[in-house]
């Protein structure tokens, strides 16, 4: 029985980023690695040639990444900014939160798991916080069970 491939939720920005990475890998990186392999082969005996081994390993990594990106793009559902409402939190929403424990204000953008980048306040819709926020409205309080304990927030604003 064939396994159904998982849908990949992307913003337009995330789609463009993946397409650019794919193009770069196919045009620039493939050529660079092929050239490294060719140079390493010119050294002769490949049985103890670490340059050749490194280049072959890198080639395998690049080809694997190309296949992974192509699969993501095949299964992509792009979130249209026009479909993001300001009524409730959804993928593509920017959510301002008031931390009821610390009194701090924080803003997250809810994205698909492929685009998640917590260091830049982009959290996955599949993460504990992202999952708990989906469908919430401005003014609602939310409790999130996370590995660090229970987090409590109030949704203060929803924007695009």
pLDDT digits (tens, 9 = 90+) for 109-126: 999 999 999 999 999 999
CA–CA distances in Å: residue 2 to residues 5, 67, 77:
9, 18, 21
Task: Tell me the CATH architecture of domain 82-159.
Answer: Roll (3.10)
pLDDT, position 117: 93
pTM for the whole structure: 0.76
pLDDT, position 108: 95
Residues of the chain with CATH 1.10.287.180: 8-79
pLDDT, position 66: 97
Q: pLDDT (tens digit, 9 = 90+) per residue, 1-20?
A: 455 678 899 988 899 999 99
CA–CA distances in Å: residue 88 to residues 72, 85, 110, 113, 142:
27, 6, 12, 20, 13
Distance CA 125, CA 103 (A): 24
pLDDT, position 25: 97
Q: What is the CATH number of domain 8-79?
A: 1.10.287.180
């Amino acid at each position: 029985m064939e396994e159904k491939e998982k849908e990949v939720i992307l913003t337009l920005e995330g789609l463009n980023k993946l397409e650019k990475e794919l193009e770069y890998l196919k045009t620039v990186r493939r050529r660079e690695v092929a050239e490294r392999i060719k140079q390493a082969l010119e050294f002769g005996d490949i049985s103890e040639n670490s340059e050749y081994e490194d280049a072959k390993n890198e080639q395998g990594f690049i080809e694997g990444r190309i296949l992974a990106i192509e699969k993501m793009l095949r299964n992509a559902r792009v979130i249209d900014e026009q479909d993001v409402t300001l009524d409730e939190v959804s993928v593509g929403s920017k959510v301002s939160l008031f931390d009821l424990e610390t009194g701090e204000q924080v803003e997250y953008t809810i994205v698909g798991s492929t685009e998640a980048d917590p260091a830049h306040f982009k959290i996955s819709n599949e993460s504990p916080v992202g999952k708990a926020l989906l469908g919430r409205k401005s003014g609602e309080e939310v409790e999130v069970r996370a590995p660090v304990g229970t987090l409590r927030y109030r949704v203060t604003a929803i924007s695009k």
